Every structure is written in structure tokens, then in C-alpha cells.
Chains A and B, each alone.
Chain A
Amino acid sequence: MDFLRPAGWEEALAAKAEHPTAVPIAGGTDVMVEINFDHRRPEYLLDLTRVAELAEWEATDRTVRLGAGVPYTRIIEELRTELPGLALAAHTVGSPQIRNRGTVGGNLGAASPAGDAHPALLAAGAEVEVASVRGTRRIPVEEFFTGVKRHVLEPDELIRAVHIRRADGPQQFSKVGTRNAMVIAVCAFAVALHPRTRTVRTGIGSAAPTPVRAREAEEFLGAALDEGGFWDSGAPLDPSVVRRFVELCAGACRPIDDVRGTAAYRRHAVGVMARRTLGWTWEAYREGEGRTAQCA
């Protein structure tokens, strides 16, 4: 095994081009487990922790460009306002020690259907910036995952950053597990209200081969909110609307039975989380968070 230690981004891309089998390592919270248990013996490890720009984030008017190497702890501490859904999800990752090392870039690279960041990214709206010596491209996060632990990256590409839409309304994240800490999701759900575009987006984790959006549910709720004038009135949601949204979210799952839970349980739990998180976000919206001033 060789340990490649690029000092900058260009050097990292050159190393990946020269050694396409190199396994990138940042926080090590996934990669080191595989090496410790001898599940993986890569020819090259490509350490990205020395590439300083990966650990930076910058906010513009509409988006946050989150460097692939920013650890979860800093997302929780520094980006709670801009990215509330992702900050909530980050808070459910592992333990403090894991959050001090683990990164969203690593979560995407591992592409586990249970990755905690993924539902929040799907709900907020995000694009993954990947690069190689051949150039840079941006991939909508819903097109990034291709299967269980599989993604669209070419062998010479590395994840540089994630461009995430800044919250313009309330966001929530919910996760089912056997305890609060050190838990891989049985299933997870994220919802984001986007009052500026009058849309609702969702993300479901660990209930399909990849993280997915419940698109039908989003479209149904968006139309119901629009037609009923709810964005302007801030009125309580009609229970029948909530019920239909919940059904459609559960219906968007394609879960399996495994050691953590059954398919039926996951589908049910996603529905419960959809109802609760929609309730929380809509309450927050009604109370004025993210809503422009109403007419007197």
C-alpha cells in the first residue's frame, strides 16, 4: 500500500489521475473501518486532509459551497442558520468523536443509502461539484447515487464541494434508530419548505437502494398549498392533505427487510416521520420563520 499525501487540490487531482484505484480518505470514519477489518486493502490511500481548501465553506446569496472536507461538527456550529436541515442531520451522525472527523464529502463518496447527510441534501436542493484533471462538473444530488454504495464518479474524479441551497424556510430532519447516539439509520426523513419558490422538497434515507426524494408527495403538497392559498394565509394544514402527503412519502420507499428493520416497518416509520416533520416545519412557517411580513 502507498500513502499519497497531496498538499493541494491540483496535486490531489494529479495523484487521482495517475492512480485511479486510489481510495480517498478524509475523516477516515468509513475507510479506516474497512481497512481495520481487512474488508478493503487498497493499493493507494489518498489523504485529503492536507488540502486546506476542502475544509472551507463559503456562502453566497442563494447557496453555500461546502468544501468536501468540512467536518460535521463545524456544520453544526457554523451553518445552523444557512443549512438547518443538514445541521440537524449532522447532529445525528455517530458521536462527537465521529462528527469531529466525518465529512459530507466522505458521506457522498461512501454513497450508503443510510448516509445521514443525504436526505437533508435532497430536501434542501444541492449539487455535487466533482473534479478531475479533465475538468469540473456539477451533479444534482438526486442524480449522484446510482445504487447501494454506488455513485456516478469516474475513477479519476474527486468530490470537491457540495453547493447547497441556503434555507429560505423551515427545514427538519428525523431519523429512526435504537438510541440517540452511534446509530446507523433504520430509516430517515428530511423535509424543507421553500417559500420563495413555493415548493416543498423531501429526502428519504435507508428505505430504498439509494437516498430518494418523494417526488409525488412533493408535487401533491406543493399544489395543495398553492391552490388553498396556504403560503399566504399560513392557515393550519388540512388533515386530509397531511394524510395524503404521508401516504405518498411512504409509497416512495422501496425498502428491504434487514437486521435493522423490516420493509413494512421502514415504510410505516417514514410515514410517521413525514407527518411529524411536516407538522414541525409548517408550524414554524406559520409562526413566521421564513415567511415574509403579512399584510396588516
Chain B
Amino acid sequence: MRVNMTVNGRPYEADDVWEGESLLYVLRERLGLPGSKNACEQGECGSCTVRLDGVPVCACLVAAGQAEGSEVVTVEGLADHARQRSGEAAGAVCPGEPEEGHPGTPGTTRHPEPTRPGQVAPLAPVQQAFIDAGAVQCGFCTPGLLVTADELLERNPDPSDADIREALSGNLCRCTGYEKILDAVRLAAARTGEAV
């Protein structure tokens, strides 16, 4: 079957999709977006976490056909997603004024062009914080954690430690012992708070 969806702001069409195939398989093997990782295939590890119409889900448990017509954000689009969000926030504070320091013409601020393939995207605050806090070791769990943590901070810009632990409870990491991941989320929250 054919499946149409918008991924990271761009329309995609996948052909010859098997009816029992997961959204994760479509993203990785058909759309060339291998950022979302395939590990447990049973929703236990969270390394395939993506946003499906805004909601964090395990892409391995979404049937491809269920994603028809939906908006998906993967780790590849996280920087654009965060940039667009901060553009919207800035727009709310100073309506009509383009955000400084961003490429593009006035009027594109609220809906910046998605990063083109091959172009190096600036990092989302949560991505930079993971690097700065040393929260990345082997990196396999990182894409899922980034998508999950970014959604937490979008929903709750000033989370308590309990909020962070609960939000990340569906993302397993076997390297870090989680402490530096918690540090990274606190750091991203603090930086985002300062910026506002």
C-alpha cells in the first residue's frame, strides 16, 4: 500500500509498504531517516520515539497505515521543530518582528523553511545540552531521549526532577546511568528559561 505523511515539515510518499509494517520501518528503510533507532520492537526501550501529530510515541508500535496523513517529527527534524517553536514564542512577544539572527526574510520567522538535506542544521537546545553535559555515550538511545526530552520541555519549561524522571521513564539507556541525561535536561531547561 501507499502511505503519505509529513515528516519534519516535508511531504513524503512511501510505496509498496507492507500492511503489517511499522512507522519506524517506513521512516528508516523507506524514507531514508535512520535517526530513530530500532532496538526492542516492543515499546520497552523508547529509542524509536517520534512525535506523531505532536504526541510522543514508539514508532515501532504504530502501524504504517495508521500514520497516513499525519505529521511526524523525528530527531532529524528536532532542531527545526525547536527553532520554529522559539520563533512562535518570539512572535508572541513581539508580533510582526522577525527574530534576530535567523536566516530568511521577514515573515518566515513563524514558519521557517525546513533544513534542506545536506545542510547542517543548528542544534536544538536539548541537543546542545546533551553534548555539553556529556549525556551521550554510545548514542543509541540518544535520538529517542532527545525527542522525549524536547517534548517535556515544550510542555513543561521548568520541570522538577520527578517530572523529568517520569517523562524519560520509557527511554532506556545502558551506558550513562542516567545522571548526565538528567543533568542535560536540567541544563536545557535552565538555558531555555534564561533565553525567555
Q: Say yes or no for B44: interface residue by CB 8 A criterion.
A: yes
Q: Say yes or no for A288: interface residue by CB 8 A criterion.
A: no
Q: Say yes or no for B82: interface residue by CB 8 A criterion.
A: no
Provide the bound-state CA to CA distance between A27 and B60, in Å: 11
The one of A36, A101, A181 in contact with B22, judged by C-beta atoms closer than 8 angstroms, is A36
Q: Say yes or no for A127: interface residue by CB 8 A criterion.
A: no
Provide the bound-state CA to CA distance between A196 and B196, in Å: 51
- What string of 1s and 0s marks CB contacts (under 8 Å) between B17-51 and chain A? 01110100000000000000000011110100100
Q: How far is the CB of B39 from chain A (nearest CB, A)?
A: 11
Q: Say yes or no for A41: interface residue by CB 8 A criterion.
A: yes
Residues on B with beta carbons closer than 8 Å to the beta carbon of A28: 61-63, 66
Q: Say yes or no for B13: interface residue by CB 8 A criterion.
A: no
The one of B1, B68, B148, B169 in contact with A181, judged by C-beta atoms closer than 8 angstroms, is B169
- What string of 1s and 0s marks CB contacts (under 8 Å) between B46-70 and chain A? 1001000001111011110110100
Provide the bound-state CA to CA distance between A98 and B46, in Å: 9
- What string of 1s and 0s marks CB contacts (under 8 Å) between A10-42 and chain B? 000000000000000101110111011100011
Residue in chain B with minimal CB distance to A36: B41
Provide the bound-state CA to CA distance between A31 and B19, in Å: 13
Q: Say yes or no for A139: interface residue by CB 8 A criterion.
A: no
Provide the bound-state CA to CA distance between A271 and B61, in Å: 35
Contact A100 B63, beta carbon cutoff 8 Å: no
Q: How far is the CB of B172 from chain A (nearest CB, A)?
A: 8
Q: How far is the CB of A110 from chain B (nearest CB, A)?
A: 13
Contact A95 B169, beta carbon cutoff 8 Å: yes
Contact B41 A45, beta carbon cutoff 8 Å: no
Provide the bound-state CA to CA distance between A180 and B44, in Å: 13
Q: Say yes or no for B15: interface residue by CB 8 A criterion.
A: no
Contact A1 B18, beta carbon cutoff 8 Å: yes
Q: Say yes or no for B153: interface residue by CB 8 A criterion.
A: no
Q: A1-B19, A49-B66 are in contact. Are A36 and B42 (CB under 8 A)?
A: yes
Q: A3-B19, A95-B46 are in contact. Are A45 and B57 (CB under 8 A)?
A: no
Q: Say yes or no for B170: interface residue by CB 8 A criterion.
A: yes
Residues on A with beta carbons closer than 8 Å to the beta carbon of B55: 100
Provide the bound-state CA to CA distance between A42 and B49, in Å: 26
Contact B68 A5, beta carbon cutoff 8 Å: yes
The one of B61, B167, B171 in contact with A101, judged by C-beta atoms closer than 8 angstroms, is B61
Contact A181 B170, beta carbon cutoff 8 Å: yes
Residues on B with beta carbons closer than 8 Å to the beta carbon of A129: none
Residues on B with beta carbons closer than 8 Å to the beta carbon of A3: 1, 19, 63, 65
Residues on B with beta carbons closer than 8 Å to the beta carbon of A95: 43, 46, 169-171
Residues on A with beta carbons closer than 8 Å to the beta carbon of B18: 1
Q: How far is the CB of B122 from chain A (nearest CB, A)?
A: 27
Contact A47 B66, beta carbon cutoff 8 Å: yes
Q: A2-B19, A5-B68, A32-B61 are in contact. Are A100 and B56 (CB under 8 A)?
A: yes
* Other contacts beyond A3-B63, A49-B66, A95-B43: 8, CB < 8 A: A1-B20, A32-B22, A36-B60, A42-B20, A45-B20, A94-B43, A97-B57, A181-B169
Would you list 20 pairs from A and B whose C-beta atoms are within 8 A, ordered by A residue?
A: A1-B18, A1-B19, A25-B66, A29-B58, A32-B62, A32-B63, A33-B61, A45-B20, A47-B63, A49-B66, A94-B43, A95-B46, A95-B169, A96-B56, A97-B49, A98-B170, A181-B169, A181-B170, A182-B44, A182-B170
- A interface list, Cβ under 8 A from B: 1-3, 5, 25, 27-29, 31-33, 35-37, 41-42, 45, 47, 49, 94-98, 100-101, 180-182
The 8 closest A-B pairs by CB, nearest first: A95-B170, A181-B169, A1-B19, A3-B19, A36-B41, A3-B65, A32-B61, A33-B42
